[in-house]
């Protein structure tokens, strides 16, 4: 037997997670798929998520928690909790990441989204990794849409991202489909970097992957409203409640609102107060039953984040979204492209403060048929396909190193 097939395989997954929960959620989906697929895999997730314990860890997986950071109104990073300058938090996080790599000695480092890391914290780590552990394979996992293409191109130029991708990364995995966005064309990547790109499809949780089964509509339409982590979801959820309590006050509807664990306490209290004494509306902070709620929903209302949108679409749910446009245009770009494919409808900023307009969007969304996901050609098994590709890449690198070591 090839000795590389007997040796434990160590994976370190990094997700910077400054504002929401999406990066760690996506990383966990891929890591879980690797653990299921191969009994040799042991994983260490290094994350800045403020709430990593919200996710069920797969077997043989543990977490290193980095000090939290967040973004201000202009999209600039700052310390979330420690009363120190941001550059000190970056240095501390960078030291912790490097110490984790040196102690864990991973065969694979999987970075989610941020090639440089938050505030450039990964750059010195990747430089030392290349000098100290040349057998470690380094892969960047990218969501489909990063921002408006012209903004991404400008940021890549100013941060010399092409050099980082060229010198530090062996492969670029895109958790998406070129029918939504061709990363090479949109971001004007040079030919050598395009050669590193592999599209693996949309990375959803495992139970969202099978083709949506036809479902019998319940007698009372069920609305599920969710804003991901919830840090910036108050406006759309409050707008929904105003529509339900105003123009739709006599409508036969039920709504489950999942505010999100990162929503400010005052905003959460305001939502609960607004829904008070309406038996049709349930307000939750968070839930481990989100997949069941999605399966029962006739309509999903929310924002335009990667996980929220694609987990609803993968199930064939009607989707009405308000994509934020600050501090980045990522959600708006994604939702415009998916709307063009007939997979969702969008709310405007002004709809959130106009209960009549919001209510009309709800009526129209419920009256529409469910989206034809199959016709879009999109696949939602990106986590499984990413896991397969990552494992094959590590095995190939290991096999090559064993051959070199065994050469006379």
pLDDT at site 218: 62
Within-domain flag for 169: yes
Within-domain flag for 215: no
Same domain, 55 and 156: yes
Q: What is the largest CA-CA distance in the chain?
A: 82
Tell me the average pLDDT across 267-291.
95
Same domain, 252 and 273: yes
In the three-class reduction of DSSP (H, G, I as helix; E, B as strand; rest coil), residue 139 is classed as strand
pLDDT tens profile 19-41: 667 788 899 999 999 999 999 99
Within-domain flag for 34: yes
DSSP letter string over 272-340? Answer: HHHTTT-TTEEEES--S-HHHHHHH-SEEEE---HHHHHHHHTTT-EEEE----SS-SHHHHHHHHHHH
Same domain, 294 and 311: yes
Within-domain flag for 217: no
Same domain, 192 and 226: no
pLDDT at site 401: 59
Within-domain flag for 54: yes
Within-domain flag for 148: yes
Q: How far apart are CA 301 and CA 315, in angstroms?
A: 14
Same domain, 324 and 384: no
Q: How far apart are CA 305 and CA 296, in angstroms?
A: 21
pLDDT at site 256: 98
pLDDT tens profile 177-212: 999 999 999 999 999 999 999 999 999 876 544 445
Contact call for residues 239 and 206 (beta carbons, < 8 A): no
Contact call for residues 31 and 61 (beta carbons, < 8 A): yes
Strand partners for 112: 15, 141
pLDDT at site 214: 47
Same domain, 73 and 99: yes
Same domain, 226 and 350: yes
Q: Which residue, 197, 335, 226, is CA-closest to 287?
A: 226
Same domain, 124 and 182: yes
Q: How far apart are CA 152 and CA 212, in angstroms?
A: 34
CATH, residue 83 = 3.40.50.2000
Give the C-alpha distances (Å, rounded to integers) separating 340 from 64, 190, 212, 265, 323. Answer: 40, 28, 21, 37, 15
Same domain, 15 and 163: yes
Within-domain flag for 211: no
Rounded to the nearest integer, the mean pLDDT of the chain is 90
If one counts every other C-beta atom within 10 angstroms of the C-beta of residue 343, the result is 24
132 is written with which tokens?
């100290």
The pTM of the full predicted model, rounded to 2 decimals, is: 0.90
Within-domain flag for 216: no
Domain membership of residue 360 as a residue range: 222-376
DSSP 5: G
Same domain, 288 and 183: no
In the three-class reduction of DSSP (H, G, I as helix; E, B as strand; rest coil), residue 360 is classed as helix
pLDDT tens profile 43-65: 999 998 887 777 778 899 999 99
Same domain, 190 and 61: yes
Q: How far apart are CA 373 and CA 34, in angstroms?
A: 26
pLDDT tens profile 366-375: 999 999 999 9
DSSP letter string over 191-210? Answer: HHHHTTEEE---B--GGG-S
pLDDT at site 50: 80
For the chain, the domain total comes to: 2
Same domain, 194 and 55: yes
């Amino acid at each position: 037997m090839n000795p590389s097939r007997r040796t434990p395989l160590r994976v370190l997954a990094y997700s910077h997670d400054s504002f929401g929960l999406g990066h760690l959620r996506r990383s966990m989906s891929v890591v879980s798929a690797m653990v299921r697929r191969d009994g040799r895999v042991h994983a260490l997730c290094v994350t800045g998520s403020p709430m990593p314990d919200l996710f069920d860890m797969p077997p043989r997986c543990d977490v290193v928690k980095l000090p939290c950071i967040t973004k201000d109104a202009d999209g600039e990073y700052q310390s979330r909790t420690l009363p120190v300058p941001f550059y000190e938090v970056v240095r501390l996080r960078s030291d912790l990441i490097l110490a984790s790599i040196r102690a864990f000695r991973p065969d694979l480092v999987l970075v989610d989204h941020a090639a440089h890391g938050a505030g450039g914290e990964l750059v010195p780590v990747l430089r030392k990794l290349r000098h100290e552990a040349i057998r470690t394979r380094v892969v960047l996992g990218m969501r489909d849409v990063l921002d408006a293409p012209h903004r991404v191109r400008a940021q890549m130029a100013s941060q010399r991202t092409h050099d980082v991708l060229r010198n530090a990364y062996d492969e670029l995995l895109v958790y998406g489909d070129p029918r939504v966005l061709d990363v090479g064309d949109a971001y004007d990547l040079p030919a050598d970097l395009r050669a590193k790109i592999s599209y693996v499809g949309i990375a959803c949780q495992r139970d969202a992957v099978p083709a949506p089964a036809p479902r019998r509509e319940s007698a009372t339409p069920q609305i599920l409203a969710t804003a991901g982590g919830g840090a910036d979801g108050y406006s759309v959820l409050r707008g929904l409640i105003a529509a339900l309590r105003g123009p739709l006050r006599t409508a036969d509807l039920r709504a489950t609102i999942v505010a999100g664990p990162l929503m400010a306490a005052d905003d959460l209290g305001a939502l609960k107060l607004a829904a008070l004494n309406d038996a049709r509306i349930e307000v939750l902070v968070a839930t481990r039953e989100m997949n069941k709620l999605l399966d029962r929903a006739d309509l999903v209302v929310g924002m335009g984040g990667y996980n929220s949108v694609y987990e609803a679409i993968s199930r064939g749910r009607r989707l009405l979204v308000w994509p934020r446009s600050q501090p980045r245009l990522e959600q708006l770009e994604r939702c415009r492209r998916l709307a063009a494919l007939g997979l969702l409808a969008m709310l405007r900023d002004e709809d959130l403060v106009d209960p009549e307009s919001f209510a009309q969007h709800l009526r129209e969304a419920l009256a529409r048929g469910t989206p034809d996901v199959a016709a879009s050609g999109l696949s939602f098994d990106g986590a499984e396909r990413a896991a397969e590709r990552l494992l094959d890449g590590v095995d190939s690198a290991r096999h090559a190193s064993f051959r070199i070591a065994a050469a006379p």
